Every structure is written in structure tokens, then in C-alpha cells.
Amino acid sequence: MAIAVFFFFAALAIVGGVGVVTLHQPIRSVLSLVVVMLSLSVMFLLLSAQFVFAVQIIVYAGAVMVLFLFVIALLGPARELGRGRLRFQTSLSILFVLALFGLMYALIQGIQYRQPEHADLSFFGTVQSIAVGLFTTYLYPFELTSILLLVAAIGAIYLSRKRIDDL
């Protein structure tokens, strides 16, 4: 069952990823990305990361994607020109990316896995275990991310304000 679920959602994620890159309307790219994110959330569930699964659906597939849809609705359907100014950009980048994939494939084949630490799998990935990590060992990084979010919010408000010379 787990293997079937893995391959179904892996195929769905790859189809969605291809859709993000190839579809010409930006709104279709965003909806393909939602497909990818929901498939990845199932992957997180398979990897017993329940809390990351919930956050993936709420924050990513929910908030971030709605933000993208909102901006597309605001800007209108932007068409895309067929080609850029650089003549060989498409072929060169596909070549480069294939080389990158070959490198990553070789890395994945050569990984020396360490022995697992034999944690309690019924406890692993629950909200409780995440909270123990976030509020003890990683308290300072956790607090720093709240500052990062504050800075991002202030920056977004500053960038989207009405200019005085526009009035």
C-alpha cells in the first residue's frame, strides 16, 4: 500500500512540476504548483512528519499559493513572449540542468547512510516532538524566524505603499 501511494503521488508531483515549467498561463503554473505541494504533503506523511504535513498544507498550499493567485488577479493575465533575447538560452539551460541532475543522481547513489538513532517512531514527528525541539535546543533560531517574518511584512508594506509623487 505504502509503495503504491508513493509511486502515485511521486508521478503526480512530477506531472505537476512539468506543468509549472511548461504551461504558458501563469495561473496554470500556480495551480500545478498546488498539485506538487499537495503530493509532497503526502510524501511528508509517508515519512512520518505529521506536523510538517499540516504546515505544508496550511502555509504553502493555503497561504502562499493564495498570495500568488491574488497577485495574478491583481496584475492580470501576463502573456509570455515566445523567446528571450539570448538565442541559445533554452538549449544551454537544459544542458546545464541535465548535468546538474546527473551530479545529484551520482550523489544519491553514493550516499553512505548512517545508522538510525532508534528513536520512538510513535513519537517521531508529532507536534509534541517538534515543540520539544523548537522550544529547547532551537529556541533562538525559532525566535529569529519571527523577526524575519516581521522584516518581510514591513518590507512588503513599504514596497506596496502609495508613492507621494503618484498622488
Query: Footprint of other proteins on residues 122-151 (CB under 8 A)?
Result: 124-125, 129-130, 132-134, 138, 141-142, 145, 148-149, 151
Least separation in angstroms between residue 167's CB and other proteins is 14
Query: With helix as H, strand as E and coil as C, how does 72-92 read?
Result: HHHHCCCCCCCCCCCCCHHHH
Distance CA 41, CA 8 (A): 13
Q: Which of 109, 122, 140, 164 binds other proteins (CB under 8 A)?
A: 109
Instruction: Name which of residues 63 to 102 contact other proteins (CB under 8 A).
Output: 63-64, 67-68, 71-72, 74-75, 78-81, 84-85, 89-90, 93-94, 96-97, 100-101
Q: Which is nearer to other proteins, 78 or 164 (CB)?
A: 78
Instruction: Name which of residues 8 to 37 contact other proteins (CB under 8 A).
Output: 10, 13-14, 17-18, 20-21, 26, 29-30, 33, 36-37
Least separation in angstroms between residue 11's CB and other proteins is 10
The C-alpha angle 28, 29, 31, rounded to 5 degrees, equals 65
Distance CA 31, CA 120 (A): 37
Least separation in angstroms between residue 104's CB and other proteins is 4
Number of residues that bind other proteins (CB under 8 A): 85
Evaluate the CA torsion angle 130, 133, 136, 139 in order and state its sign: negative
| Alpha helices for 23-138 (secondary structure H) | 26-46, 50-55, 65-75, 89-109, 127-132
Q: Which residue has 503530493 as its cell numbers?
A: 39
Instruction: Name which of residues 40 to 69 contact other proteins (CB under 8 A).
Output: 40, 43-44, 46-49, 51-52, 55-56, 59-60, 63-64, 67-68
Q: Which residue has 533554452 as its cell numbers?
A: 90
